[in-house]
Amino acid sequence: MKIAVVGTGYVGLVTGVCLSDIGHKVQCIDIDSEKVEKMRLGVSPIYEPGLEELMVKNIAEKRLFFTTDHKEGFMDADAIYIAVGTPEKEDGSANLLFVEQVAKDIAENVNSDVVVVTKSTVPVGTNDRINEIIQTNLVNNVKIHVVSNPEFLREGSAIFDTFNGDRIVIGADDEPAGNLIEEINKPFGISVFKTDLRSAEMIKYASNAFLATKISFINEISNICERIGANVEDVALGMGQDSRIGNQFLNAGIGYGGSCFPKDTKALIQISGNAGYEFELLKGVVQVNQNQQNLLLDKLNQRFDSITGKKIAVLGLAFKPNTDDMREAPSIVVTKRLIEQGAELTAYDPAAIENAKKLLSSEITYVNSVEEALKGSDLALILTEWSKIKEFPLENYKKLMKEAIVFDGRNCYELSDVKEHEIEYYSIGRPNVKKQKVLVEK
């Protein structure tokens, strides 16, 4: 089929590229002409493993195209996907300005009957609003139906998730329109769950809110574990073996970040409030996450009387590994407070440095390796569990640092391994490891 995708961020670009890879002819539309020119050359504007390879392949096979022209992009399209951002407003609600603009662009430019598919994460009732805007501004005599098809992609594994998802949710109040979207997705071979528009919108928010709740729950458990001498990893493992609970999203750390969980939890609280219901549980989830981002700093300040003038290596800046996304990353809060306390920061991240420079203090020094960050440092903070950090040899901390003191916000190392080296080690929800002299056999 012929498909148009409006917006080329994480959701739009991955959606467009993967739809082209299963055989559809896809036009990706973005108003940024410089960005479009790069994408035409197979250069991805975002860091996502495997994405550029699929872009190059499908551009070469003439299934994937990029344009700034809505009329060109919409020409004879069977479906138009809305995949623009819905950034968070100050009150926590979703800003629908970009979505509403796309609806107007569709109304003014479509020349044939088409199904409009909302991929953007939008509050309940937004698809009705999109339909209203389109019908009010429609120029040509065509029929348009709106379908909700929320995404459930994880940044860093979005390509894998597209081809290996648990389900595809389709919300439609017009059966033929819903069937068309099911047909488009059939080559993925993933089970389809059909429902009405508003239920589909709610499934997206409810899913993310539940996962965020699991993360905040295990982080609260980790804080108790530290106080009573338990190990949160063993606790999580024991919990996760219960099929009713499952083992996913039970990794203790310094909180969630990124483009989805923080925004979607706040938006759902706002949606609930607008409906006259106070979502107290979710408010607690958000507060726990905010507190958790300061946990490493609290540990550090308990260990040192002052960190003024201390040289600190910050390992990892992105909110999670395999992405360059800095949105709501704990590194934003942590580095800001460290700078305020007079520390000297040297930071490393395999992918997010350029995005980090736009958000973090200009006083931070950025380097290209873990070794460079650690060299001559007084202590190290691990904020993102990149494989390059998790696989970094423990013996090198002592070799490179003035003193091997590590605060690990992602529990990257096994305690048994740490104990074999001369490292002072603080992690989340686990016993601290005090530095001890390692005996070397002669």
Six token digits for residue 3: 């498909």
Per-residue pLDDT of 377-402, as tens digits, reads 999 999 999 999 999 999 999 999 99
pLDDT per position as a tens digit, 211-262: 999 999 999 999 999 999 999 999 999 999 999 999 999 999 999 999 899 9
Please tell me the distance from the alpha carbon of residue 92 to that of residue 264, in angstroms, as a whole number.
9
Question: Could you tell me which residues come within 8 angstroms of residue 399 by beta carbon, excluding any fewer than 6 positions away?
Answer: none
Model confidence at 325: pLDDT above 70: yes
- Does the pLDDT at position 291 exceed 70? yes
Per residue in 56-79, pLDDT tens?
Answer: 999 999 999 999 999 999 999 999
Q: Quote the tokens at residue 133.
A: 């805007």
pLDDT tens per residue across span 167-180? 999 999 999 999 99
The mean pLDDT of 126-141, rounded to a whole number, is 97
How far, in Å, CA of 72 to CA of 76, rounded? 9
* Mean pLDDT of the 311-322 span: 97
pLDDT band at 92 (very low <50, low <70, confident <90, very high): confident
Cα–Cα dist 118/363, whole Å? 41
Q: What is the pLDDT of residues 158-209, one digit of tens each?
A: 999 999 999 999 999 999 999 999 999 999 999 999 999 999 999 999 999 9
For residue 36 the two structure tokens come to: 């479009």
First-to-final CA distance of the chain? 71
The pLDDT of 35-43, averaged and rounded, is 97
Backbone angle region of 48, left / alpha / beta, with phi > 0 → left and psi within -120 to 50 → alpha: beta
Tokens of 29: 């539309």
Structure tokens of 146?
């709106």
Q: How confident is the model at residue 154 (pLDDT cuts 50, 70, 90)?
A: very high
What is the pLDDT, as a whole number, of residue 91? 87
Which residues are catalytically annotated?
Answer: 260
pLDDT over threshold 90, residue 93: no
Q: How many CB atoms lie within 10 A of CB 406?
A: 23
Q: How many residues comprise the chain?
A: 442
| pLDDT at 438 > cutoff 90 | no
Among 310, 329, 307, 309, residue whose Cα is nearest residue 318 = 329
Spatial neighbors of 351 by CB under 8 A, at least 6 apart, are 47, 318, 322, 323, 324
Q: Are 356 and 331 in contact (CB under 8 A)?
A: yes
- Count H helices and E strands in the chain, helices first: 19, 14
Average predicted confidence (pLDDT) for the chain:
96
Q: Is the pLDDT of residue 298 over 50?
A: yes
Tell me what the mean pLDDT of segment 317-336 comes to: 96
| Token digits of residue 211 | 């996962």
Q: What is the mean pLDDT of residues 301-315?
A: 96
What's the confidence (pLDDT) of residue 177? 98
Complete DSSP assignment for 20-56? HHTT-EEEEE-S-HHHHHHHHTT--SS--TTHHHHHH
Tell whether the model's pLDDT for residue 440 goes beyond 50. Answer: no
Contact 333, 293 (CB under 8 A): yes
- Please give the pLDDT value at position 246: 95
